[in-house]
Amino acid sequence: MTLLSEHYDKNHRGRLMAEERQVFFPLRLRAHEASSNKMKYDERYTRYIERLGLLPFIQLVTRSTPNMNPCAITALVDRWKPETHSFHLRTGEMTVTLQDVSMILALPIEGIPVCFSTDAANRRDRMFDLIGAVPAVPDDPTKYRVPAGATYVWIAEHFSQCPGDASEEMFKQYTCAYLWYVISRTLFADGGGRTAPWMWLKALSGWDSKQSWGSAALAYLYRQLDEACCRHKDDASIGGPLVLLSVWMWEHFSVGRPKVIRYGAWDDHDNPLRQPTWGYKWDKVSEFNGDQKRMYIDYTNEFDALTAEQVITAMSKIVIICLVPLICILLFFLALFSCLA
């Protein structure tokens, strides 16, 4: 597909593959290990997470996340256009919207923007105030780069399980550390994949801030797609809310769509905010096996050959849902008139 900007024409994976016949590897997906049990969820966290509006999302990602397909995701990323923030397909343009964020991840899309200074000055003091601990400073800071945050290993070592006799202040600290770990791995995973950035802990400093986390997650996904579609190295990766992107792709396209194996037990604790989201439709899916380079080529060809009839749009779902009861009513009256006749 012809692009819109010479800058992206020059560097875009899609152009290089189509015009210069370059061969790329599938992108690596940054880990989503919120459900790996490295950080155990404590029901005492619930009342604080609920105040932030993140409870439905946390309920979804901490219990399980589906197996994702890096080959199919990469084939889709190759069709991303940073100029329009949409996927350009033979059938037209499509993109992930705030409605998708709300339905799939149940993140709040109303409220104030997740907007703050990323300045890391005095971050160690601020971090201690929020979670009660800070990573040790290397003996030789000039030799080792000190990240503006903390490694996931360090967070798990110090906050994996909240003590049963924890004070209220300690309990808040463990809740904050838990959220920092989870959202950094599932919503805002970056190219490094080892460190939870300080700025996301900073964003959790107010329990009643009423922030639009859904808008922030969608903007971050767009930025990750903008960068990933121009990455060429064999070990290139993509981060961001990839559960959102995967479920969105499976809902609309048959390309790379897995088979749903089963649904795990879901305990909503009689709380409406903890009921399943749209993402639960893909709770337990089949794994992706085979040669990744071969699968990547196959998925690319499938997207190239995609027709309008093979794309499931939100509107088509609504039309189907509305037509089914109308058809049933029509059939009922036809049968009634036949009996009367």
The tokens 């499938």 sit on which residue?
302
The tokens 């959790």 sit on which residue?
204
Amino acid (one-letter) located at 76: L
The tokens 């050959």 sit on which residue?
305
What does DSSP assign to residue 45? Answer: G
pLDDT the model gives residue 324:
47
Reported confidence tier of residue 320, pLDDT bands at 50, 70, 90: very low
Rounded CA separation 248/314 (Å): 11
Rounded CA separation 239/58 (Å): 18
Tokens of 186: 């599932």
pLDDT tens-digit readout, 290-310: 889 999 999 999 999 988 888
Alpha helices by DSSP H, listed for 42-88, are 46-52, 55-63, 70-77
Q: What value does the mean pLDDT of the chain take? A: 85
Amino acid (one-letter) located at 25: F
pLDDT the model gives residue 231:
92
**Do the beta carbons of residue 110 and residue 213 sit within 8 Å?**
no
* 72, pLDDT greater than 90: yes
pLDDT tens-digit readout, 120-158: 678 888 899 999 999 887 766 555 555 678 889 999 999
pLDDT the model gives residue 4:
63
pLDDT tens-digit readout, 243-285: 999 999 999 999 999 999 988 888 888 888 888 899 999 988 9
* 169, pLDDT greater than 70: yes
